[in-house]
Amino acid sequence: MKIKYTLLAVLFVFSACKKDFLDSKPKAKLSDELLNTPEGIEGLCIAAYAALAGPDGQGTHERPTTNWIYGDVRAETAYKGGGGVGDISDFNAFETFTGVFPTFWSLDGKWFDLYRSVQRANSAIRRLNAISETVMPQKNIRLGEMRFLRAHYFFELNRLFNRVPYFDENVENTDYIKIPNTQFSRDQLLEKIAAEFAAASDLLPATQAEPGRTTKYAAKAYQAKVVLYRAYKQKDDNTFSSIDATLMNNALTLCDEVITQGGYSLLDDFQKLSQAEFDNSKESVFAVQHSIGDGTTNGRINWSNLLNAPKGPAYGGDGFFQPSQNLVNSFKTDINGIPMPDTYNNGNLMTVADGLATNVDPRLDFTVGRIGVRWKNYTASAYAANWAREPATYGYYHNKKALVSPESPFMVKGFPWGGSALNWTIIRYADVLLWKAEALIELNRQNEAYPLINQVRARAKNSKYVLAFPNTSATDYAAKYNIETYQPGLNCVWTNDYARKALRFERKLEFAMEGERFFDLVRWGIADQVLNQEYFPKEKILRTYLQNARFVKGRDEYFPIPQAQINFSGGLYKQNPNYN
């Protein structure tokens, strides 16, 4: 069954955790006597899981756990969208890198949410440490789960704010204020987080009966991600300095373990990633669980994406999070079906369906709504111009990926717009394949990397392509789809430089609109180059609100430490570089 959890009541759950894990009703008030029982501890563990979607649930559209504003709108792949630049003005500042201040409510809220999530994990760990395995046979498994979740929350804090206070369950709540945010460097924090995932993997089983719980190989995969981030060394001013080959080898070893022992594989159709029927599939390594029809008013939907449905009749949403022209252009392919990372942005693909005029990767129309192109399985109309809320500012494209098709039984009808049972996947198997390829390339073993990239490309090639609208002929496609795998010596010259460029571009295409792109640019040390030299100069011609946009190297890799938190610490916390 699909795992569901209820946020509002989760701290009060004390019933046994069987197949109805994360879907229980409140039965008692909190007390030490109750919380020190196996049932009470299970409730605390559920609370830590529930925080994956934000400890406040419905409020997360303003500080999204899906990272759409932090990971894509700050990159070259998406616009803020919505009702104009003043609609959530903080987000406009994030997008343009102008006027981002430590006093922003959205930054303080995000910091606070993540530390509350850390605290939920710590609360569970304290109780778990105090109970015997005889009384609670699942003790060590739950400890592994909580250490995994705590590491996840700290990783999010680190890649958003960099300089953050780190503590475990042994620190009393009253002592938090005494911990500086500069006690550990970025490298030391990532080392601690990676060690947490390693400890979690030692405690966790290879599989769990209840989908949604973390596992040994999910922990190893996340550890690989953190080690990979750590391998890209940064100076004290946040800028890239070097690559650590030992850490790259460590990441490679972890990826190999996940690939050979984890039991994961790619789904056979890229579009299935956006269908709730395939939640917790063989490709899902770690995902936030969502649901509808679970006994709550709106279900356990993805409130982080509440703003991000188009305005059209199928959803009636707020129109935030729109794909950029740069992203759309990225899906062009050459006559051999290969990406064009050096020339893709020389001209713009048309906003409307242009038939068979240009070769494109089929993932374009799985990811982006384009005028005249079939919208998922919706039969009432194709994606139309009037679906865009503010086209004069943000254009007509919209994000398809995080929405289920309007006729799906897994979607809420009406408000919350576009809300559904679709899980939000944090790590999927395609990540692991491309992390391994990345490590191989940086270790000058690029000839071992292209078969891994080709697995991802072959899945896209063999998926069912988007059909023309309203025609349903099996070969009447919406565009001229042309995608092939890399064949060194035939359609490419696979040097180390070419391989690196191909890998990075493949991540851009495969994970478009999944909240990861900006973090990739920062760890690779190329955010300044991509944004200031390649993106803003061309995009501002189309989007005049980007006229003054500029990424400041040595500052904008991370957000400022919220001023409210500096005040809370009595001035102990130090501000990030170059934020006055």
Domain boundaries, the chain: 33-73+90-263+557-569, 303-512
Q: What is the pLDDT of residue 357?
A: 81
CATH 1.20.120.1200 applies to domain 33-73+90-263+557-569: no
Q: What is the pLDDT of residue 353?
A: 63
Q: What is the pLDDT of residue 22?
A: 41
Hey, do 33-73+90-263+557-569 and 303-512 end up sharing a CATH topology, with the first three levels equal?
A: yes
Q: In angstroms, rounded to a whole number, what is the distance separating the alpha carbons of residues 443 and 354? A: 41
For residue 433, what are its two tokens? Answer: 């394949």
Q: In angstroms, rounded to a whole number, what is the distance separating the alpha carbons of residues 475 and 230? A: 46
Residue holding tokens 């008013």?
297
For residue 79, what are its two tokens? Answer: 């616009």
What residue type is assigned to position 553 of the chain? K
For residue 349, what are its two tokens? Answer: 């693909």
Q: In angstroms, rounded to a whole number, what is the distance separating the alpha carbons of residues 484 and 504? A: 17
Which residues are CB-neighbours of 188 under 8 A, at least 6 positions away? none
For residue 429, what are its two tokens? Answer: 């198997």
CB 71 within 8 A of CB 516: yes
Q: What is the pLDDT of residue 368?
A: 97
Q: For the chain, 580 residues long, give each residue's pLDDT as a single digit of tens.
A: 344 454 333 433 333 333 343 444 444 456 777 888 999 999 999 999 999 999 987 768 899 999 999 999 999 999 999 999 999 999 999 999 999 999 999 999 999 999 999 999 999 999 999 999 999 999 999 999 999 999 999 999 999 999 999 999 999 888 988 999 999 999 999 999 999 999 999 999 999 999 999 999 999 999 999 999 999 999 999 999 999 999 999 999 999 999 999 999 999 999 999 999 999 999 999 999 999 988 888 889 999 999 999 999 899 999 999 999 999 999 999 999 999 999 999 999 877 766 568 999 999 999 999 999 999 999 998 999 999 999 999 999 999 999 999 999 999 988 999 999 999 999 999 999 999 999 999 999 999 999 999 999 999 999 999 999 998 788 899 999 999 999 999 999 999 999 999 999 999 999 999 999 999 999 999 999 999 999 999 999 999 999 999 999 999 999 999 999 999 999 999 999 999 7
CATH fold for the domain made of 303-512: 1.25.40
Q: By C-alpha distance, which of 512, 288, 308, 540 is closest to 403?
A: 308
CA torsion, ordered 361, 363, 368, 374, to nearest 10 deg: 90
Residue holding tokens 């391998």?
231
What's the distance, CA 340 to chain centroid? 25
